[in-house]
Structures are given as structure tokens and as C-alpha cells.
Amino acid sequence: DSGVTQTPKHLITATGQRVTLRCSPRSGDLSVYWYQQSLDQGLQFLIQYYNGEERAKGNILERFSAQQFPDLHSELNLSSLELGDSALYFCASSQGGTTRGETQYFGPGTRLLVL
């Protein structure tokens, strides 16, 4: 158990809909990262938040947005969903985001299926 929790575990929805994925980082961790893993692909970095502020951005679609709240949990919002958004979405956390070489601890992921 990494200490990172993600809800829900599974989500089935229809094209055009909007969903929210939630992540609670490990106790004391200030950085939260979101990754997408599509079928047979590696994990693709989407976005990082550090202590409530956006810190780094990857190939995140404009239809996707995220935020980190004062209690440090984070939400990833996916809107106007398309079939190709079906994937595993992982959240990870690390202590500070400022120390080089910090380990990222991953949650179990949310499996999203868009029908």
C-alpha cells in the first residue's frame, strides 16, 4: 500500500460526458502528479501540482483540467469524453517536488471506460 488513494476504482460513462477523478496523496506529500496509461502504452505524464499550484504540464488535453485543494487532495476533470479517453489514470505523490530525485508513490489507478 503506497498510501496514495484514488477514487473511484472503476468508471463507466458515455461519450460527451464529464467525470471527476479524485486523488489523496500520502500524508505529508505536497506534490501530486497525474498520468494516463492507454492500452499497451507507457504512462503519459499529464500534470503536476505542488502545494496547490500547477508546477509542470505534459500532454494534457484542453478538455482535461486538474486542481489541488488546500487539504492537498487533487481532482482530475475530464470533459467531452471520447472513446479514446478510455484508459487507466494514475495519481502519484512525492514529498516536496523540489528535492532532486524524489520518489513518486503511485495510487492504484482509476480505470475509465468511455462507451
Partner 1 sequence: DQQVKQNSPSLSVQEGRISILNCDYTNSMFDYFLWYKKYPAEGPTFLISISSIKDKNEDGRFTVFLNKSAKHLSLHIVPSQPGDSAVYFCAASVDFGNEKLTFGTGTRLTIIP
Q: Which residues of the shown chain bind partner 1 in the complex (CB under 8 A)?
A: 2, 4, 31, 33, 35, 40-45, 48, 55-56, 58, 90, 92, 94, 97, 100-109
Min dist CB 70 to partner 1, Å, is: 22
Minimum CB distance to partner 1 smaller for 52 or for 108: 108
The H or E element containing residue 7 is: strand 5-7
Minimum CB distance to partner 1 smaller for 33 or for 64: 33
**CB crowding 60-92: b at 16 or more within 10 Å, else e:** beeebebebeeebebbbebeebeeebbbbbbbb
Minimum CB distance to partner 1 smaller for 72 or for 92: 92
- Rounded Cα distance between 49 and 84, Å, is 25
Min dist CB 15 to partner 1, Å, is: 26
Min dist CB 54 to partner 1, Å, is: 11
Cell of 84: 479514446
Minimum CB distance to partner 1 smaller for 16 or for 58: 58
User: What separation in angstroms does the CA of 29 have from each of 4, 14, 41, 42?
Assistant: 10, 34, 27, 24
Min dist CB 79 to partner 1, Å, is: 23
